[in-house]
Amino acid sequence: MRKSAASRESIIPLLAEAFRDHGYEGASMAVLESATGLGRGSLYNFFPGGKEMMAEAVLDDVDRWFYERIFTPLLAGASGVETMFDGVDSYFRSGRRVCLQGMFALGRERDRFALTIRRYFSDWVEALTYALRDAGLSEPHDRAVRVVAGIQGGLVIARALDSPDAFAVVLKGARRDAGC
């Protein structure tokens, strides 16, 4: 029986999980095939640019999610801060899921995806800065940088120690720093 046509949209989350689980280099075409259930030809049909184009699409998709669910609420004002923390805790599965942009930033992939990675973090810091200023907190920019860095570091240490508790501790501290 012929396989029914998959949509480009529907496979992007599957590619994302594959990249998260194996890293950019570790996610070989064979891995991406089995993660999506598609053959090589199908993948290249959706993404003529190959693996790099798939990763770019995945990063864009994550970026879009954060824009809608995190950045936009932040740009609406102080109330977005709580929304952000809840959204982040949920998105990163309380520290069990890594941040692709953070992972790529530390590795060789930083050069290849520099603009996308940079935009993700600068948009985040900028939106959070706005919300913290709206909340009347002092030094909103520095606070925003600390909070975003804390979240990223929380993911690193939670994975290193294999302890989601560490992420919870960091997130609690970041909430306090952000006036929650």
Query: Residues interacting with DNA, by CB under 7 A?
Result: 2-6, 25, 27-31, 37-42, 44-46, 48, 50-52
The partner in contact with residue 1, picked from a second copy, DNA, none with C-beta cut-offs of 5 to 8 angstroms by kind, is: none
Q: Is residue 96 within 8 Å of residue 164, measured between CB atoms?
A: yes
Closest to a second copy by CB, 45 vs 122, is 122
Taking CA atoms, 152 is separated from 27, 107, 136, in Å, by 22, 14, 25
Nearer to a second copy, 6 or 145 (CB): 145
Beta carbons within 8 Å of 157's beta carbon, 6+ residues apart: 163, 166, 167, 170
Q: How many CB atoms lie within 10 A of CB 111?
A: 9
Residue 169 binds: one of DNA, a second copy, none (C-beta under 5 to 8 A by kind): a second copy
Q: Cα–Cα–Cα angle for 61, 170, 67, nearest 5°?
A: 20
Q: What, of DNA, a second copy, none, does residue 175 touch, CB below 5 to 8 Å by kind?
A: none
Contact footprint for a second copy (CB under 8 A): 21-23, 25-26, 98, 101-103, 105-108, 110, 114, 117-118, 120-122, 125, 142, 145-146, 148-157, 159-162, 166, 169-170, 172-173, 177
